[in-house]
Protein backbone atom coordinates (compact mmCIF):
# COMPACT_ATOMS: atom_id res chain seq x y z
CA UNK A 1 0.00 0.00 0.00
CA UNK A 2 2.85 2.44 0.65
CA UNK A 3 4.04 1.82 -2.90
CA UNK A 4 0.92 3.55 -4.20
CA UNK A 5 1.66 6.57 -2.01
CA UNK A 6 5.26 6.71 -3.17
CA UNK A 7 4.21 6.43 -6.80
CA UNK A 8 1.81 9.33 -6.29
CA UNK A 9 4.59 11.45 -4.74
CA UNK A 10 6.98 10.68 -7.59
CA UNK A 11 4.24 11.54 -10.05
CA UNK A 12 3.61 14.88 -8.31
CA UNK A 13 7.32 15.73 -8.30
CA UNK A 14 7.70 14.88 -11.98
CA UNK A 15 4.71 17.04 -12.87
CA UNK A 16 5.77 20.02 -10.74
CA UNK A 17 9.53 19.99 -11.26
CA UNK A 18 9.81 18.68 -14.81
CA UNK A 19 6.37 19.52 -16.20
CA UNK A 20 6.10 15.90 -17.27
CA UNK A 21 2.85 14.48 -18.56
CA UNK A 22 2.41 11.32 -16.53
CA UNK A 23 -0.34 8.82 -17.15
CA UNK A 24 -1.11 6.53 -14.27
CA UNK A 25 -3.34 3.58 -13.91
CA UNK A 26 -4.23 4.40 -10.28
CA UNK A 27 -7.62 6.03 -10.08
CA UNK A 28 -8.87 8.14 -7.18
CA UNK A 29 -11.26 5.33 -6.27
CA UNK A 30 -8.38 2.85 -6.12
CA UNK A 31 -6.35 5.22 -3.95
CA UNK A 32 -9.34 5.58 -1.62
CA UNK A 33 -9.44 1.77 -1.29
CA UNK A 34 -5.75 1.81 -0.39
CA UNK A 35 -6.43 4.44 2.29
CA UNK A 36 -9.34 2.48 3.72
CA UNK A 37 -7.36 -0.75 3.89
CA UNK A 38 -4.52 1.03 5.70
CA UNK A 39 -6.90 2.54 8.23
CA UNK A 40 -8.62 -0.82 8.63
CA UNK A 41 -5.43 -2.27 10.10
CA UNK A 42 -5.43 0.40 12.82
CA UNK A 43 -9.15 -0.13 13.41
CA UNK A 44 -8.60 -3.89 13.80
CA UNK A 45 -5.92 -3.31 16.42
CA UNK A 46 -8.30 -1.00 18.28
CA UNK A 47 -11.12 -3.55 18.15
CA UNK A 48 -8.74 -6.17 19.54
CA UNK A 49 -7.97 -3.79 22.41
CA UNK A 50 -4.33 -3.51 21.32
CA UNK A 51 -4.50 0.18 22.07
CA UNK A 52 -0.85 1.28 21.95
CA UNK A 53 -0.19 -0.50 18.63
CA UNK A 54 -3.45 1.02 17.35
CA UNK A 55 -2.19 4.53 18.18
CA UNK A 56 1.06 3.85 16.33
CA UNK A 57 -0.82 2.47 13.34
CA UNK A 58 -3.25 5.41 13.18
CA UNK A 59 -0.39 7.92 13.37
CA UNK A 60 1.58 6.11 10.67
CA UNK A 61 -1.35 6.04 8.27
CA UNK A 62 -2.41 9.60 9.07
CA UNK A 63 1.09 10.75 8.16
CA UNK A 64 0.70 9.01 4.80
CA UNK A 65 -2.85 10.24 4.19
CA UNK A 66 -3.46 13.49 6.10
CA UNK A 67 -6.31 14.60 3.83
CA UNK A 68 -9.72 13.22 3.06
CA UNK A 69 -12.86 11.89 4.63
CA UNK A 70 -11.08 8.72 5.67
CA UNK A 71 -8.52 10.82 7.58
CA UNK A 72 -11.26 12.68 9.45
CA UNK A 73 -12.74 9.35 10.55
CA UNK A 74 -9.32 8.03 11.54
CA UNK A 75 -8.59 11.11 13.64
CA UNK A 76 -11.89 10.61 15.45
CA UNK A 77 -11.01 6.98 16.07
CA UNK A 78 -7.54 7.99 17.28
CA UNK A 79 -9.11 10.35 19.82
CA UNK A 80 -11.32 7.50 21.07
CA UNK A 81 -8.26 5.26 21.48
CA UNK A 82 -6.59 7.99 23.53
CA UNK A 83 -9.69 8.18 25.74
CA UNK A 84 -9.58 4.41 26.24
CA UNK A 85 -5.95 4.83 27.31
CA UNK A 86 -7.04 7.58 29.75
CA UNK A 87 -4.84 10.01 27.84
CA UNK A 88 -7.22 12.95 27.94
CA UNK A 89 -4.51 15.41 26.89
CA UNK A 90 -3.81 13.61 23.60
CA UNK A 91 -7.53 13.15 22.98
CA UNK A 92 -8.06 16.88 23.52
CA UNK A 93 -5.17 17.78 21.20
CA UNK A 94 -6.61 15.47 18.53
CA UNK A 95 -10.07 17.01 18.91
CA UNK A 96 -8.64 20.51 18.58
CA UNK A 97 -6.68 19.44 15.50
CA UNK A 98 -9.85 18.08 13.88
CA UNK A 99 -11.69 21.31 14.65
CA UNK A 100 -8.94 23.60 13.36
CA UNK A 101 -7.91 21.51 10.36
CA UNK A 102 -11.29 20.69 8.89
CA UNK A 103 -13.62 23.46 10.12
CA UNK A 104 -12.88 25.66 7.10
CA UNK A 105 -13.16 22.86 4.57
CA UNK A 106 -16.71 22.63 3.19
CA UNK A 107 -16.01 19.09 1.97
CA UNK A 108 -15.06 17.78 5.43
CA UNK A 109 -16.70 20.22 7.84
CA UNK A 110 -19.79 18.10 8.45
CA UNK A 111 -17.81 14.88 8.93
CA UNK A 112 -15.43 16.65 11.33
CA UNK A 113 -18.38 17.99 13.32
CA UNK A 114 -19.86 14.49 13.59
CA UNK A 115 -16.55 13.13 14.87
CA UNK A 116 -16.22 15.92 17.44
CA UNK A 117 -19.74 15.32 18.72
CA UNK A 118 -19.11 11.58 18.96
CA UNK A 119 -15.85 12.10 20.87
CA UNK A 120 -17.44 14.68 23.17
CA UNK A 121 -20.22 12.20 23.98
CA UNK A 122 -17.68 9.52 24.86
CA UNK A 123 -15.70 12.00 26.92
CA UNK A 124 -18.87 13.05 28.75
CA UNK A 125 -19.85 9.42 29.44
CA UNK A 126 -16.34 8.72 30.69
CA UNK A 127 -16.56 11.67 33.08
CA UNK A 128 -19.99 10.54 34.31
CA UNK A 129 -18.67 7.03 34.76
CA UNK A 130 -15.68 8.30 36.73
CA UNK A 131 -17.97 10.42 38.89
CA UNK A 132 -20.23 7.44 39.50
CA UNK A 133 -17.21 5.32 40.52
CA UNK A 134 -16.19 8.00 43.02
CA UNK A 135 -19.70 8.09 44.44
CA UNK A 136 -19.84 4.29 44.73
CA UNK A 137 -16.43 4.32 46.37
CA UNK A 138 -17.62 6.93 48.86
CA UNK A 139 -20.68 4.84 49.65
CA UNK A 140 -18.56 1.75 50.20
CA UNK A 141 -16.24 3.65 52.51
CA UNK A 142 -19.06 5.37 54.34
CA UNK A 143 -19.47 4.25 57.91
CA UNK A 144 -22.35 5.75 59.82
CA UNK A 145 -21.24 7.58 62.93
CA UNK A 146 -22.18 5.74 66.07
CA UNK A 147 -24.14 7.64 68.59
CA UNK A 148 -22.45 7.80 71.96
CA UNK A 149 -24.75 8.80 74.73
CA UNK A 150 -23.38 10.45 77.84
CA UNK A 151 -25.20 11.64 80.87
CA UNK A 152 -25.17 15.38 81.41
CA UNK A 153 -23.23 16.25 84.52
CA UNK A 154 -23.39 12.64 85.52
CA UNK A 155 -27.02 13.16 86.54
CA UNK A 156 -30.03 11.62 85.00
CA UNK A 157 -32.11 14.49 83.63
CA UNK A 158 -35.54 14.29 82.18
CA UNK A 159 -35.89 15.19 78.52
CA UNK A 160 -36.03 13.76 75.10
CA UNK A 161 -32.96 11.61 75.59
CA UNK A 162 -33.59 10.87 79.22
CA UNK A 163 -30.71 13.08 80.32
CA UNK A 164 -28.32 11.90 77.64
CA UNK A 165 -26.73 13.94 74.89
CA UNK A 166 -25.18 13.03 71.57
CA UNK A 167 -21.42 13.32 71.16
SS3 sequence, 106-146? CCCHHHHHHHHHHHHHHHHHHHHHHHHHHHHHHHHHCCCCC
98-129 pLDDT per residue, tens = 999 888 888 888 899 999 999 988 888 888 77
12-33 pLDDT per residue, tens = 888 888 888 777 677 778 877 8
- pTM for this one? 0.66
**pLDDT value at residue 153:** 56
Q: Do the beta carbons of residue 90 and residue 80 sit within 8 Å? A: no
More confident residue, 83 or 1: 83
DSSP conformational letter for 154: G
**pLDDT value at residue 44:** 95
Amino acid sequence: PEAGVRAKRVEDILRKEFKADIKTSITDEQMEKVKRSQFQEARTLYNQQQLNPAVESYLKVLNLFPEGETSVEALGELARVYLELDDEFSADVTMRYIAERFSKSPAYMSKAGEQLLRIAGIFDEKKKSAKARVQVSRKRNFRPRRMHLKKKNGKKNAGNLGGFRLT
